Amino acid sequence: MRTEDLIKALDADAGKKAMPMGKAWWLAVGVAVAIAAAVFFTTIGPRPDIMPAMHTMRFMSKFVFTLVLAVSAFALIRALSVPGASTRRRMAWMLAAPLLVVLAVVLELFVVPQADWGKRLVGSNMMICMTFIPLIGIGPLAVFLGMLRYGAPTRPVLAGAVAGLLAGGLAATFYAAHCFDDSPLFVATWYTIAIAFLTLLGAIGGRLFVRW
């Protein structure tokens, strides 16, 4: 088939319209949040003392970390799913969440006596944390990988990893409402491990499924 001929076929198929990426991403986020919420509320749900907890800095700081991660990952993945889009600035924003966590850890080390560091770090339910963040995040991750297939990422492995970070940020936001361990020492350790797992899964998914 000559390229001329191919163009005739493509031209005849021009009428079919697909949803623009921007709109599709917002739809995907809506679906992902719904899935994460369904899993969260049918399994562990929020902690019973959530109302008083909302008046404490440590509890609220968890949402700052996870939401900053989710928002920066969302901005980056939208650029990564489109060929030729500039990603440098959005990459730099990915440092925001880790930097905030580091800052909080340093502050925590100042205000908490050294004898309590170990107790705060180990917390009371790290296994639940490492189980439920991936469990809440796996559905959203599948949705985001599906979106990457719909898009055209020229760096599929990186885009898959960012899909994992986005799913992780989203899942951790829900999980944070359940978790009793509010110390940045706990968050920096166990949340990171759980999100890293989703990131790895996303990178593998990007490698295997995101072909175009």
Partner 1 sequence: MTGKDEAELSGLLRTAIAGDERAYADFLHRIAALVRGFVRRKIVQGGVDPEDVVQETLLAIHVKRHTWRPDAPVLPWVYAIARFKLIDAFRRRGRRIEVEIDEIAETFAEPETETVSERDINRALEGLPPTQRSVVSSISVDGHSIGETAAKLGVSETAVRVSLHRGLAAIAKRFGRQ
> Which residues contribute to the site for partner 1 (CB under 8 A)?
1-22, 24, 81-85, 151-152, 154, 211-212
d(CA 182, CA 55): 12
- Which is closer to partner 1, CB of 14 or CB of 115? 14
**CB 139 within 8 Å of CB 37:** no
The CB-of-15 to partner 1 minimum distance in angstroms stands at 7
Q: Which residue has the tokens 């609220």?
A: 60
- 126 contact partners, CB below 8 Å, separation of at least 6: 181, 186, 189, 190
The CB-of-212 to partner 1 minimum distance in angstroms stands at 5
The CB-of-22 to partner 1 minimum distance in angstroms stands at 7
- Which is closer to partner 1, CB of 105 or CB of 152? 152
The CB-of-153 to partner 1 minimum distance in angstroms stands at 9
- Which is closer to partner 1, CB of 10 or CB of 51? 10
Nearest CA-CA partner of 204 in 156, 166, 169, 167: 156
d(CA 5, CA 145): 33
Rounded-to-10 torsion of CA 164, 102, 186, 93: -20
- Which is closer to partner 1, CB of 23 or CB of 55? 23
Rounded-to-10 torsion of CA 62, 145, 25, 194: 0
**CB 205 within 8 Å of CB 143:** no
The CB-of-42 to partner 1 minimum distance in angstroms stands at 35
- Which is closer to partner 1, CB of 16 or CB of 55? 16
The CB-of-151 to partner 1 minimum distance in angstroms stands at 5
- Which is closer to partner 1, CB of 151 or CB of 202? 151
